[in-house]
Amino acid sequence: MKTRIAILLLAFGVLLTTTALASEPVPASKAVSKSVATYIGNNLDYPEFAIVDKFQGDVVLSLLIEDDGSFDVIQANCIDKYMKNHIVTAIEEMQSDAHALYAGQQVNLKIKFDLLLY
């Protein structure tokens, strides 16, 4: 009898653990992704140090929309670590009340920095 109870408790514990760890962010729709990309693009300036260093390139990001409309950068990739750190910091300081409706959704972005565009 004790063995059966132990097996049931073990199975219940495994079920609870897998359920708790299974919550992943929901990928954002194309409309939400485009809205976030437009918002970030309009509020993000080309960093002065990147202009002086003549940096051109891309920053690829994966971010999560928080309950208050702010953004939490989950992953970022760029060939220049200073540019990556600057962009991550700048985006995490942004807050958009309009995007708070989409809390919990994950957005993947590619931000292009091209000196010819400025």
Ordered structural domains, the chain, with CATH: 25-117 (3.30.2420)
Confidence of residue 7 (pLDDT cuts 50, 70, 90): confident
Confidence of residue 118 (pLDDT cuts 50, 70, 90): low
Q: Which residue has the higher pLDDT, 53 or 11?
A: 53
User: CB–CB of 39/63 below 8 Å?
Assistant: no
Q: What is the distance between the alpha carbons of residues 118 and 6, in angstroms, rounded to a whole number? A: 67
- pTM, rounded to two decimals: 0.75
23 HSE (CA, 13 A, CB side): 6
User: CB–CB of 78/62 below 8 Å?
Assistant: no
Check whether 27 has a pLDDT greater than 60: yes
The size of the chain, in residues, is 118
- Eight-state DSSP code of residue 104: T
Residue (of 11, 7, 25) closest to 65 by Cα position: 25
